[in-house]
Amino acid sequence: MAGYTFLTVHQPSAAAMAVALAGAVGVTAADVDVADESVGHRDWAAVVLCDRMSLAGDLALAWDVHVSPRVEPPPPDEAEAALRLAARLGTTVLHPADGVRPSAYWAATPDGIRTRARVLDGGTEGDGRPVFTVDTVERAVAQLPWARVERIVEGRQDG
């Protein structure tokens, strides 16, 4: 089973997420189940399952996506899926960089730019939502205007 972890600047609706995920991995929207803590039931037979959680701080939503091995052709890697979702949803999509610090992410923008980003965990809000801050990016990202633009020197990985 392929899995993706995404953070997004905006919070698209569950329906928009299902359509975007379907297009990104090559299935129909009916094959995608998107749910958050308020949803009482799941379509466990769906080939794409996505859990979503609201965030506070610079990022609005966390996605935990699982794609069944039955999906043919195989879904794209996480970096390509992030680019496809960013283009489809018009929001910057971040995904973890492999093999480096927990703060190391890649950001994919709606216009196809990929750049390194440092995401800091700020604990939780009073309502229990996790707080994330995008501290630094290597290239300016229009939807993250507060982030410093500078080279990120922590262990570099392609992604």
pLDDT, tens digit (0-9, with 9 covering 90-100), for 47-82: 999 999 999 999 999 999 999 999 989 999 999 999
**Does 156 score more than 70 pLDDT?**
no
In whole angstroms, how far apart are CA 88 and each of 16, 24, 29, 83, 119? 9, 8, 13, 9, 23
**Does 142 score more than 80 pLDDT?**
yes
Nearest to 128 by CA among 54, 52, 60: 54
Q: Which two tokens stand for residue 22?
A: 């379907």
Dihedral in degrees, nearest 10, Cα atoms 7, 12, 16, 22: 0
In this prediction the pTM is 0.91
**Does 100 score more than 60 pLDDT?**
yes
